């Protein structure tokens, strides 16, 4: 069998499986579960790099393989899955679909650029990355669940759709805008995990009644 098989890639594969499950849920209009699986993929991505770095004797080929599969899985989980969810939530006009295509394209460009620069960086140093250039594509695993949690504050479904367009456009643009963003510390990452977990709990156990207030029917 081709490929590299060890514990360093297991969490990446679990995140990928979660993304596929989210697609199944989105296509069958189980949008609460689709957003849950998006968030779960994000949680997996938060820790897969840390797990990979625990193996000190990785070859250059294993490191490169890890970078490539991580980005491929990211495009599925945080590129394609959010597009499907947002489409099912109501972004179905021509301009909406154009925006979703641009969001996906921004994600592809960002991941391709990241792969090139990360391989170059690893050739020059073994230090952990301290800054990102642009917003990581995995940020959508936080942005969309949090947006859904606070959506009941919007007055009606039309306002929800408008703000959903704005959120997708903003996050997509930040993928490719050249600015530095500090990588989270262990403590900050822990707090972020708690916040995402809380958002997921709200989505699973409270969101149904809130969502009905917006008269959303998938």
Alpha carbons 46 and 38: distance in angstroms, whole number? 13
Residue 210, classified by CB atoms within 10 Å of its CB into exposed (0-12), middle (13-18) or buried (19+), is: middle
Over residues 30-43, the pLDDT tens digits come to: 898 899 999 999 98
Q: Which comes out higher in pLDDT, residue 60 or 76?
A: 76
Domain assignment present for 37:
yes
For residue 217, is pLDDT > 70? no
Domain assignment present for 1:
no
Domain assignment present for 24:
yes
Residues spanned by the domain of 160: 7-213
Alpha carbons 116 and 212: distance in angstroms, whole number? 45
Read off the CATH number of the domain in which 164 is found: 1.20.120
Domain assignment present for 2:
no
Structure tokens at 188: 């900050």
Domain assignment present for 25:
yes
Structure tokens at 131: 């800054």
Number of domains, the chain: 1
DSSP letter assigned to residue 151 = G
Domain assignment present for 202:
yes
Structure tokens at 187: 């403590």
Over residues 160-194, the pLDDT tens digits come to: 999 999 999 999 999 999 888 888 777 787 788 88
Question: Which runs of consecutive H residues, i.e. helices, occur in 53-156?
Answer: 60-74, 81-89, 94-124, 140-150
Domain assignment present for 218:
no
């Amino acid at each position: 069998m081709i490929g590299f098989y060890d514990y360093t890639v297991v969490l990446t594969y679990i995140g990928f499986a979660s993304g596929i499950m989210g697609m199944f849920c989105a296509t069958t209009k189980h949008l609460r579960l689709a957003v849950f699986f998006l968030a779960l993929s994000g949680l997996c991505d938060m820790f897969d790099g840390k797990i990979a770095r625990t193996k000190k004797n990785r070859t250059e080929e294993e490191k490169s393989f890890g970078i490539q599969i991580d980005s491929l899985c990211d495009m599925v989980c945080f590129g394609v899955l959010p597009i499907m969810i947002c489409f099912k939530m109501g972004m179905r006009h021509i301009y909406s679909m154009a925006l979703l295509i641009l969001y996906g394209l921004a994600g592809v460009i960002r991941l391709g650029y990241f792969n090139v620069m990360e391989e170059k960086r690893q050739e020059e140093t073994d230090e952990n990355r301290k800054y990102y250039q642009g917003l990581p594509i995995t940020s959508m695993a936080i942005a969309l669940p949090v947006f859904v949690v606070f959506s009941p504050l919007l007055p009606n479904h039309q306002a929800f759709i408008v703000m959903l367009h704005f959120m997708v456009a903003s996050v997509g643009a930040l993928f490719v805008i050249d600015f530095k963003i500090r990588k989270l510390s262990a403590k900050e990452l822990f707090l972020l995990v708690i916040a995402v977990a809380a958002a997921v709990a709200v989505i699973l156990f409270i969101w149904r009644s809130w969502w009905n207030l917006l008269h959303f029917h998938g």
